Amino acid sequence: MITRPGHSDSITTIDLTNVADSLEKVRSSLAAMHRDAIDVKEKKRLYDMATAKGTTTNFDVGDYVLWSRVDERLAHNKLLVQWVGPFAVTEARPHSFMIRHLLTGSTYEVHGSRLRFYADSSLDVTEDILEFVSNQGMLLGVDGFSDHRYNADASRWELLVKWTGLQDIEASWEPLKSLK
């Protein structure tokens, strides 16, 4: 062993008769360190890719999902959401899904983070399920107005509203002031 003057490190002497063995040990050690460094770097790259993309959701066309619909905005910019559905998945897009309302047939484009799996395509959509869906308070679009009247009991004007996706028999009298 040789020590350099003024330095605290030491230099190891190598027996020149065993240079090949010593060189092979150094090469093996460097190769192992290089493999470890590549593994760590690849794991970090994959982790960074996953966090940049977010959590992937995987729904198949025909699956039934619940949708977290935003009902109102609360104080401090918080959102009040309600899970509604089920909805049928009709199309899978790169960053969203097209879903169809079971009762009205209306379609919505929804980000996958706002959906939760409900059932696969083998779900038997019964009258009970449709009744449950109809009582969830979904906002319906106005297809048109069929008639108008003055309701003397309530002292207000009302319109007979035909709702998008519903049958004519399901039209309802709505106060004029409540329609926006």
**Residue 50: per-residue pLDDT:** 65
**Residue 153: per-residue pLDDT:** 92
The residue extents of the domains of the chain are 19-54, 64-134, 142-178
Give pLDDT tens digits for 142-168: 888 999 999 999 899 999 988 776 667
CA distance 99 to 133: 14
CA distance 118 to 126: 15
64-134 CATH fold: SH3 type barrels. (2.30.30)
Rounded-to-10 torsion of CA 45, 51, 55, 61: -60
The one-digit pLDDT tens for each residue of the chain (180 residues) are 556 666 666 666 667 777 788 788 888 888 888 888 888 888 887 777 666 655 556 788 888 888 887 655 555 556 666 778 788 899 988 778 899 887 778 888 888 888 888 776 667 777 776 666 665 655 567 888 999 999 999 899 999 988 776 667 778 888 888 776
pTM above 0.85, yes or no: no
Structure token pair of residue 140: 């319906």
142-178 CATH fold: OB fold (Dihydrolipoamide Acetyltransferase, E2P) (2.40.50)
DSSP string, 18-53: GHHHHHHHHHHHHHHHHHHHHHHHHHHHHHHHHHHH
